[in-house]
A and B are shown apart, each in its own frame.
Chain A
């Protein structure tokens, strides 16, 4: 199985700050045929189901604010949230879909200071 290591596990920030969440996979998620990285990011707000934010490592889902930026390739990926808003308080998960079984990171809890 591909192991996804996510850090930090929690993060306390002030509104307006920029935050970075890291995700490292135990093997490369880069597919040579399509030349894409098979990595997604999800946001889960309290009491809600997860919602996809980013797919193919850097493509935002429709309707996702531009302050959410996915980057990285191979085994190292990052979710950056520019100018954090109160509504961004949530748990964030990375997930690889390069190979089954699909696997998730342990999550990062974003809290306001």
Chain B
């Protein structure tokens, strides 16, 4: 059974950095592109970016490219999202997703990030 478990969310102050993790199990992690998607409290869905199965290539939403970095450790079957200089508008639930031809085929349960002073 495919499982994706995100962690690392919480309350952070504006301007801080935060690193989210997503531990994958139930499939060969190194075979799949992976994405991060976030959902705001108002339910708006936003794709953050993705990473190739071997970690050699990443894509980002242009508005987030300068502050967010996606990486992976295939030996640990873990996906990461490094967030820097966070803002109030980054408040959202962050999901990792396993892609299938760019469809978000499997999703984790999400981790909530709240940016507030």
Contact = CB atoms under 8 A, between A and B. Distances in A.
A50 B102 contact: no
Contact of B103 (A40, A49, A93): A40
B27 interface: no
A106 B107 CA distance: 19
Interface residues of A, number: 21
B interface, size bucket: 20 to 34
Contacts of B47: 100-104
Contact of B45 (A38, A55, A93, A100): A93
Interface of B: 35, 43-47, 59-62, 95, 101-105, 107-110
Given A40-B104, A97-B103, A101-B47, 19 more contacts: A40-B103, A42-B104, A50-B95, A50-B107, A52-B103, A52-B104, A55-B101, A95-B104, A97-B101, A100-B59, A101-B59, A101-B62, A102-B47, A102-B102, A104-B47, A106-B44, A107-B43, A107-B44, A107-B45
